């Protein structure tokens, strides 16, 4: 049960991060790599808030 409770949020973070990176690349814009600190993790936290 604990593994499922851990797996679901982590999978959501990884999918959200991949979506941000792919859409930024497709649209040729500054994505979470530059806008969210080191590797864009701050952008995911800001989106979650």
Prediction pTM value = 0.57
Residue entry with tokens 């979470």: 32
The pLDDT value given to residue 36: 63
Report H helices in the chain: 2-26, 32-35, 41-48
Q: Are 15 and 38 in contact (CB under 8 A)?
A: no
pLDDT 10s digits, 8-49: 888 988 898 888 788 878 887 765 556 666 666 777 777 766
The number of C-alpha atoms within 13 Å of 10 and in the hemisphere containing its C-beta is 6
């Amino acid at each position: 049960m604990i593994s499922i409770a851990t797996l679901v949020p982590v999978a959501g973070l990884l999918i959200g991060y991949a979506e941000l990176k792919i859409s930024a690349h497709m649209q040729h814009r500054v994505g979470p790599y530059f806008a969210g600190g080191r590797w864009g993790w701050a952008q995911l936290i800001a989106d979650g808030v």
